[in-house]
Amino acid sequence: MSDGLARLAELLREPTCLVGVGNPLRRDDGVGPWIVAAVRRAGIAGGPVLVDAQDVPENFVPSIARGEARNVVFIDAAAAAGEPGTVVFGPLADFAEAGSYSTHKMALALSGKFLEAAGKRPFLLGIVPAELDFGQGLTAAVEQAAASLRDLIVGACAPARLEYRHDR
């Protein structure tokens, strides 16, 4: 596991809100909502707050800012270096300083500033897309990365499983 993903797993042990950003009708742009829906289906009791913001994350920011979660992780298709399916993670402000970083850059930049002013810590969990044209379903590389991230999130948020041994 990369350092960034290890940091994400640690972060998920704190009160966190996962915000799926993207348009599912534009292939890989829908990766954020795909991950949020997959985590929701896992039904983690006491897990992160899940928000499917589609392509309007700014509409949900005021309620997220009033919520209990200190960390806010925007999950989105990311205009980052790497092959399709490459995962990037870090503070949202770090990506904003680097220039283009998301298919929803403007909305995320404003949302991040609003959340920081409310005392929240915004992050970006991005997946490099292969295709952003109209169509449904994720491409194979992005779906594989999204499934791995779903598993990481569910594993990090699931209650610790205790093993009992009975030695005679």
> Mind listing the pLDDT tens digit for each residue in 84-127?
999 999 999 887 665 555 555 667 888 899 999 999 999 999 99
Q: What is the mean pLDDT of the chain?
A: 87
Between 2 and 41, name the one with better pLDDT. Answer: 41
Residue 126: what pLDDT? 93
Separation CA 128–CA 105 (nearest Å): 14
Distance, first Cα to last Cα, the chain: 38
Task: Output the six-digit token pair for 5.
Answer: 């993903």
DSSP E strands in the chain: the ranges are 16-21, 49-54, 71-77, 87-91, 121-127
Helix (H) or strand (E) holding 64: helix 61-66
Residue 101: what pLDDT? 57
**Residue-range domain boundaries for the chain:** 3-157
Query: pLDDT > 90: what percent of the chain?
Result: 68
Q: What are phi and psi of 79, to 5 degrees?
A: -85, 75
β-strands 87-91, 121-127 pairing:
antiparallel
CATH 2.60.40.730 applies to domain 3-157 = no
Mean of pLDDT values over 61-82: 93
Res. 141: pLDDT tops 90: yes
Indicate the pTM of the whole model: 0.89
